Amino acid sequence: MIGEVLAVNVSEKRGEKKKTVEEINLRAGHGIEEDAHAGEWHRQVSLLSLSSFEKMRKLGADVIYGDFAENISVAGIDVFKLPLGTKMRVGEALLEVTQIGKTCHDMGCAIKKQVGTCVMPHEGIFTRVLESGRVKTGDTVEVLTGDDFI
């Protein structure tokens, strides 16, 4: 399964809106350099699919890449359908899916206030970095199967 990176997004502080940048550097066991959510835990890098953005736009949400606090926005793959433990090559980095969905900040969620719902609790995914590398807009996202590790 092959997809494409639409945008890469970071924030220097937790709770702050993510901004789209040209390129990010991912470090194994740490996450994205210069991102507030990096560290030695299971939610180092977050991803969200274009289909999730489109779903929210149909409900009237005025959203752009980074608005859901995702680090990597992707097209061509519905990342929320990937099982836990799935490995994927994103640009130069290797990621492993560790969590699907997260609790929104209830009515503190700007998107939920706008349209009454949010996709992050069911469609945002979290990963940990297994191999370091750079990721930029236009890079390939490749979901790896067990055969890719033989």
The span from the CA of 11 to the CA of 27, in Å, is: 16
- The residue among 123, 144, 141 whose CA lies nearest residue 5 is 141
Strand ranges of the sheet holding 133-136, from the earlier edge strand across to the other edge:
31-32, 23-27, 133-136
What's residue 6's pLDDT? 98
Confidence of residue 150 (pLDDT cuts 50, 70, 90): very low
Percent of the chain surpassing pLDDT 70? 87
The yes-or-no verdict on residue 122 having pLDDT over 60 is yes
Give pLDDT, residue 140.
98
Determine the topology of domain 2-11+22-141 in CATH: M1 Pyruvate Kinase; Domain 3 (2.40.33)
**Domain residue ranges of the chain, discontinuous segments joined by +:** 2-11+22-141
Please determine, for residue 133, whether its predicted confidence score (pLDDT) is greater than 90: yes
Which pLDDT score is estimated for 149?
47
Summarize pLDDT for 25-62 with one digit per residue, the tens: 999 999 999 888 888 889 899 999 999 999 999 988 88
pTM of the complete model: 0.90
Q: What is the pLDDT of residue 96?
A: 97
